[in-house]
Structure 1
Amino acid sequence: MFGGPAERDEEKLAWLRDRNQPDEPFILLYGELDTVAGAAGERSPFRERAVLAAVMPALERSAVPYWTQGTNSGLYVLLRGSGIDPARLQEEAFELAKQMVELGGAASELSLSVGIGRAEPSLLRLPDALRQIAECMEYRMLIGKRSVIAYDAIRSIRSEKDRQLLLSTNRLEELLRVGDRDGIADALREAYRTMLTVGAGKPDIQHFCIDLVEKAEYVMEEFGLSIDPKDKLRIREKVLSSVILTDMMRDIEQLLQGSATRIGTLVEQAPKRLVAETKAIVGQAYEDELTLRMVAERLSVNYSYLSRVIKKETGKNFSDLLWLTRIEAAKARLLSEDLKAYEVAYAVGFKNYAHFSLLFKKVVGMSPSAYKLHASEQRDGGK
């Protein structure tokens, strides 16, 4: 009843009143067998009695009143905290948990681990306590058998766990964008080791993997690469249904490496394509105010990356490409239009005639006026 929805709080309180039981602070513990023979869902009165018998000496020595409830593989112990200092209640819970583990180990064929929830102010918070216990038991596979797992301790490492998961996700996204298959394999293995080190449980790792799936799909779409909707569904089903964590990570590695292969092919072709597209934009808009950042925005790439690509592929800076294009246009206009040199300079996009004249002479070997005169003389001489 107490595990039910919040809207039944009044019924829960009435249930307590009918039994002359106060609503009170509590801490929930759960001792579970580390190895359970038989079907996972099979309820075994023998196992319940065995666990209860093993830990009963510890319960009898406890100065704190308690309730117990058996399950198919363990025993819940609810320590009731009416009139008890919360700090003392917490100490009693830890001491009882340690004794339960020790007594379970002393009993033949019993290996117990115990989860400890947070101190809660009201029995109405029992659903929260049950969720805390479930999370504690998820951590048991990382800590090992005969462990005491406190929910407060789990919370203390959660911020570091979240930070590490975010760092790993961002790193893998960076490697995916450059098509680095080998880097992805190494980074994914390192991420898995880190997650285990900081205490990530199966739900955390599943969430991490689903996040990577979504990142991969997003990056693929950015590169204009299509993904079969059936493949999208299939990888999610694999992640959510995986029982063995290493299998889950292997599936994600295959997905990311496959995506990296396709992206890598485009990345190899990208520099030449970007330079060609940059030159095309400059050729169309050289007369206007044009900057590298404006071109990068039109091409949807980082302007620093575009700058490096242009330099590597052409040996020139973006400004050099722009000025050379303007100079070539100026040469054509000086020969074909009845314009003065300074008028041509402004027409092709220069804001300063002196700068134009200096660059023109550097590129062509003579001033704009001399170039126009020289070309005119050649035409006249050829008549």
Structure 2
Amino acid sequence: MIKLLLVDDEQPILDGLKHLIDWPQIGVSSIQTATNGRDALAVMNNFKPDVIITDIKMPFMNGLELIRTVKEELPDTKCIVLCGYQDFEYARQAMKYGAVRYLVKPVEEEELIEIIDDIRESMLNTNQEKERLEDLNRKLIESEPFLRNKLLYDIVSGDIADVQDVSGKLNRFGIEKFPQKFVCAVLEFEINDSLEGFTEEDSELVRFGVANIADELICSKTNGHVFYMLEKQVIMILDVSNSNPHILESLLRDMIYQISRYLNILVTIGVSSIHNSIEDTPKAFKEAKSALRYKLLIGWEKVINYNDVASDINKGIIIPISVWKKLENSIITGDSDSIPDVVAELFNELRSLKGVDPTELLDKCRNELLVIRRNIEVIGLDDSLLKSFIDEFDQKMYIVTLEELEVRFIEVFQRLAREICQTNNLGIKSVINHIKQYIDQNYTDNITLNTLAEKFYVNSSYVSRLFKEELGENFIDYLTGKRMEEAMRLLLSTEMHVYEISEKIGYGNPKYFSQLFKKYTGMSPREYRDQK
């Protein structure tokens, strides 16, 4: 039977959905409701729904954020999106995040029944397939090392409700007692393809080697347990009852050195604060993983202590929009030569941020990449390369460092700028048209190439060349022409003095204005006026 969660900020819609069809008749055994994404998460934690039907636009947490969180916490839960015709772009984004279907309001009974039937059939097939695979693999996985790893992993991940009741199981694997005073450390490694040695296909073998080296070093200095379940992570519970922090730090640094030396891989370790009860292991594990996220800012080959970064978690981040606009305009104008400097400026800004949460920082970067992609798409340029990069970013955003990300930014955006330059000049035309419009409206101001470069986030020498190529004259000639045309109009239509006209059109020096005017018209301002 299916458990269903309905989420919408409009109570009439929730009530309508609850009574739209005979839910038990189509296999729905229980229904819960929530009026926004945040409340839905609270319900979800206890209710564990099989299916969620959610609106998109809601307060506190919208439907897109809810779906993304659901996919992380309950990956088997199926999400259905409610949207209006005008919300189709949101629906498409929701499908990317993992929604299986979308419904256009008002919801039709027959369509909803069909979707639930499809999901029920899919769940049935999935469960049958899972049962078949579990039966085939049972004899393979029921080995002592695997069960020991899984038991310890279940303890630290909080999947065992009563951890005080696992002493018998621990004894089975030679673990007589759990440390009374301990830290949890999570070691993450990455196989460096640029170095000779292992490849990505050797991940399982490398993980086994990492665990063995870690176990040997721990046994030589203290007591502890080493285990793993995730592909590129090894987890350690370290007894610190008789150790001081300096010994622990030295042990973990030596571990990084030995593993890097013998296996030729990149390693970083996140370490929790000290805890005193087996019931705190999930908290300690979470702390170690939180510390590990700071690899983005700190880099590989480091021991990162949770206590050193805890105050930074969930702090707000502000990245100047001007840096992102420079990157965007360098791309759409095809200025590939400026990309390395612009990217370097961006990442210098990122490195200068103090006390930031890496997750928040990566989310900010992703959002800005989406803005750039949308703006590229709006002016008719091919955004497929950037779309692929954003997909890659989503997959790898939590395992990279800023240095690695900077190199990738330069590679992708230089290639994108070159492709745009070779295949289309729509981006160039868009920027030049905006610059031309700005000059037309503000030619009386003190406008320079540097002014335009700062205003439109482009390189000054590059915009000078583009201006000449697109309009057939250089920037200063175009600006002078606009000013002279206005001066001619004022000389013929007003009684303003020459010095007043000079000042009005942007020249503080009347003599210089008169020289330019004569060069432009062949006459002095007075001669030009006298001819009317």
Q: Highest Rg: 1 or 2?
A: 1
Instruction: Name which structure has the greater RCO, CA cutoff 8 Å, separation 6+.
Output: 1
Higher helix share: 1
